[in-house]
């Protein structure tokens, strides 16, 4: 597991999707992704659109000004924000720990699944 995260913590973390359906290859991120990460992506020249973790579309995009201040501006093409949340996916994880004797699980809070093991 990346960053030694527990399965539930990994599933709770903010997600991103590089949407190849856009000419500019926009990056859609859940708005729980750290604002500094979003700002750095914008600084690198990427188009970034935040979407609410639980499906409410946001009408803002993050930009980085020359003074490196983070500002919020309205997105002119609101259709870009109507991306189906399906690109982010959903998941359930069951991980074996301690030589396979312990099961540790987690279920995505965006879905209706559960992690069960026996």
State the average pLDDT for the chain: 73
Name beta bridge partners: 66: none
How far out from the chain centre does Cα 91 lie? 13
Report residue 55's pLDDT band, with 50, 70 and 90 as the boundaries: low
Reading the block at residue 16, the tokens are: 């991103």
pLDDT surpasses 90 at 107: yes
Contact between 52 and 59 under an 8 Å Cβ cutoff? The reply is: no
Helix (H) / strand (E) containing 98: none
Report residue 84's pLDDT band, with 50, 70 and 90 as the boundaries: low
pTM of the model: 0.65
Of 29-33, 34-38, 53-57, 65-69, where does the model show the most confidence? 34-38
In this prediction, residue 106 carries a pLDDT of 94
In this prediction, residue 22 carries a pLDDT of 63
In this prediction, residue 53 carries a pLDDT of 60
- Strand duo 48-51 + 27-30: pairing: parallel
Q: How far apart are CA 41 and CA 81, in angstroms?
A: 18
């Amino acid at each position: 597991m990346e960053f030694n995260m527990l399965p539930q913590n990994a599933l709770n973390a903010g997600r991103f999707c590089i949407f190849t359906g856009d000419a500019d290859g926009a990056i859609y991120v859940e708005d729980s992704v750290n604002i500094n990460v979003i700002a750095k992506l914008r600084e690198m020249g990427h188009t970034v659109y935040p979407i609410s973790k639980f499906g409410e579309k946001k009408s803002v995009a993050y930009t980085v000004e020359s003074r490196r201040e983070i500002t919020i501006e309205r997105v002119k093409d609101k259709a870009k924000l109507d991306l189906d949340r399906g690109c982010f996916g959903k998941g359930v994880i069951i991980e074996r720990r301690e030589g396979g004797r312990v099961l540790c699980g987690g279920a995505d809070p965006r879905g209706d699944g559960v992690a069960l093991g026996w």
